Amino acid sequence: MSEANKGDLIPPPRFIGTHPLPKGGPNLHKNKPSMQILITCPFWCASLLTKELKRLDLPLVESHPTAVLSEWTWKDIYNINLWSRIANKVYAVMWEDKITNFDQLFDFVLSLSWNTLFVPTSEFSLHASCKNSQIMSEKSLVSVTHKAILTSLNILQDTKTDPDKSQEVFLFMSWNNLKVCINTSGASLHQRWWRTQTWPAPLKENLAVAIILLSWWKFNKPLIDPFCGSGTIAIEAALLAKNIAPWKHRNFAFQQFKNFDFNIWNEILLDEKNSEFNNNYQIVARDIDEKVLGYAKINAQNAWVSDCITFEHQDFQSGLMLFEWDFWLITNPPYWKRLNSNDDLSPLYEKLADYLKECYGWVISSYPWMWKLFNSKHFSHKQLYNWADEVDFYWKKPV
Ligand SMILES: C[S@@+](CC[C@H](N)C(=O)[O-])C[C@H]1O[C@@H](n2cnc3c(N)ncnc32)[C@H](O)[C@@H]1O
């Protein structure tokens, strides 16, 4: 099938009705399509996540600022968990219903077969998000649901034997439509396997890769991060260029589910291995701090990408740029807020602003005076979040 025809099969964005899912949850033994999947991501990254879904041939059903909804089979769930560089967590929407009051909520949750996917236990975690609905208290939504699940589990005493604290239920209430979702990822997916060495102010891995994707970095061009810290930007760029799955070598919650299919999972892992590219990439990571640079080198070894990153111990203020001006500068410079430093950073940022007159650059930082240096005529700006901190993202407008 041609790419164009495949595109035609993607349905337009739409809302799914209020009672589409059978109360027993999705068919667990077949790869049955048309169940929903809720994927969370950092603020402002939903469009990048949508592009990833397209690459995996999955439709977009709904888009929210920090999440997208798509449709899935179990194979898709495995694939997204392994391949998405942007996602925080991948939830399977198991059940949904129209809920307008707490009695309805209790009865609905009680009626669900909690033993469908995993062995039920009271050791689960519950989270909720409410938008534009009659029930707007997330706390009450969680507490009533919790009571109903416990009541349901008492009925199912014989299956209550395998406590697994990593199982998470997420309640997503929007326009009185409650979706009961199960976390298929486990721990947040931004926690890559390669980060064994950390540093006080690391960039979240999925935010780093979001910036690289937004920069449209061409893999055959040099990429430089003059303030590399633990190496997040350089390592994620190398993984992207080499087409190595970002979540390789970690365990996922779906591997604990009753219906986990080893054969499909092994096929997906084999495909991943065969899809690796190997070219000559020019990725340069520099830092003034030799110890931190050592951490970055170990992290790059863990990710098997040391061969395409050149690490250099260099002070940005005295160092020379390479590659004439034909390179991508993507960086997260120091800023006092996270590093508890009282150094005067203005000369460093002035020099950075000077460099950026000559080359393309993408800079993310919480340094409060950046707006003075990065003038709006030449730069675009967006406020983002690294962990809970507000960060400014500036990038040079194309000329
Ligand atoms: C915000 S941290 C970068 C964190 C990195 N993005 C990560 O994910 O780990 C800024 C880095 O800039 C380095 N740095 C500070 N002053 C520098 C200078 N003059 N030249 C080069 N690096 C410098 C610090 O050692 C620190 O590692």
Q: Of 156 and 229, which is predicted with more confidence? A: 229
Burial readout 182-207 (b: 16 or more C-beta within 10 A, e: otherwise):
bbbbbeebbebebbebebebbbbbbb
Report the candidate in 31, 22, 21, 24 with the shortest Cα–Cα distance to residue 260: 31
Residue 228 alpha carbon to ligand 1 centre in Å: 6
pLDDT of residue 372: 86
Contact predicate 187/252, CB 8 Å: no
Q: Give residue limits of the domains in the chain.
A: 3-183, 205-242+278-396
> Which residue has its alpha carbon closest to ligand 1 atom 8?
202
> Which residue has its alpha carbon closest to ligand 1 atom 15?
334
pLDDT confidence tier of residue 263, bands split at 50, 70 and 90: very high
Contact predicate 285/310, CB 8 Å: yes
Q: Does domain 3-183 have CATH number 3.30.720.210?
A: no
Q: Of 227 and 358, which is predicted with more confidence? A: 227
Using CB distances shorter than 6 Å, the residues near ligand 1 are 199, 201-203, 226-227, 229-230, 232-233, 286-289, 292, 315-317, 332-334, 348
DSSP string, 323-383: STT-SEEEE----HHHHT-----HHHHHHHHHHTTTSEEEEEE--TTHHHHS-TTTEEEEE
Indicate whether 8 pLDDT > 90.
no
Torsion of CA 15, 40, 122, 252, to 10 degrees: 120
For domain 205-242+278-396, give the CATH number.
3.40.50.150
pLDDT confidence tier of residue 18, bands split at 50, 70 and 90: very low
Indicate whether 37 pLDDT > 50.
yes
Residue 331 alpha carbon to ligand 1 centre in Å: 9
Arithmetic mean of pLDDT over the chain? 82
pLDDT of residue 168: 87
Q: What is the pTM of this model?
A: 0.83
pLDDT confidence tier of residue 33, bands split at 50, 70 and 90: very low
pLDDT of residue 32: 43
Residue 333 alpha carbon to ligand 1 centre in Å: 5
pLDDT of residue 117: 61
Give the largest Cα separation in the chain, rounded. 71
Residue 293 alpha carbon to ligand 1 centre in Å: 9
Return the percent helix, strand and coil in the chain, to nearest 5.
30, 20, 45
Contact predicate 183/141, CB 8 Å: no
Rounded distance between C-alpha atoms, residue 101 and residue 61, angstroms: 26
Indicate whether 165 pLDDT > 70.
no
**Neighbour count for residue 322 (Cβ, 10 Å):** 15
Indicate whether 115 pLDDT > 80.
no
Rounded distance between C-alpha atoms, residue 14 and residue 18, angstroms: 13
Residue 230 alpha carbon to ligand 1 centre in Å: 9
> Which residue has its alpha carbon closest to ligand 1 atom 25?
289
Atom of ligand 1 nearest to the CA of 319: 20
Atom of ligand 1 nearest to the CA of 345: 16
Strands 328-331 and 360-365: parallel
